[in-house]
């Protein structure tokens, strides 16, 4: 998933919207959605130049 925003909060909202759209498309196409289990989290390192 790639998204962006002017702030981290905006980028998170954009990511939520993208994931929601993806899951809705799975449902519309009759593809099973992964079960709701422990959230997948991953730290992000950002280099500032």
**Is the pLDDT confidence value at 1 over 80?**
no
Q: Which residue has the tokens 């980028």?
A: 11
Domain that holds residue 34: 1-49
Condensed to tens digits (0 to 9), the pLDDT of residues 21-49 reads 999 999 999 999 878 777 777 788 888 88
- CA–CA separation, 14 and 5 (whole Å): 7
The number of distinct structural domains making up the chain is 1
Cα–Cα distance for residue pair 39/7, rounded to 1 Å:
23
pLDDT value of residue 17: 94
Tokens of 2: 């790639």
The model carries a pTM of 0.63
pLDDT at site 8: 84
């Amino acid at each position: 998933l790639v998204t962006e925003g002017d702030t981290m909060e905006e980028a998170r909202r954009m990511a939520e919207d993208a994931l929601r759209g993806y899951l809705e498309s799975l449902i519309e196409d009759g593809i099973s959605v992964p079960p709701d289990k422990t959230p997948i989290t991953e730290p992000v390192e950002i280099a500032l130049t």
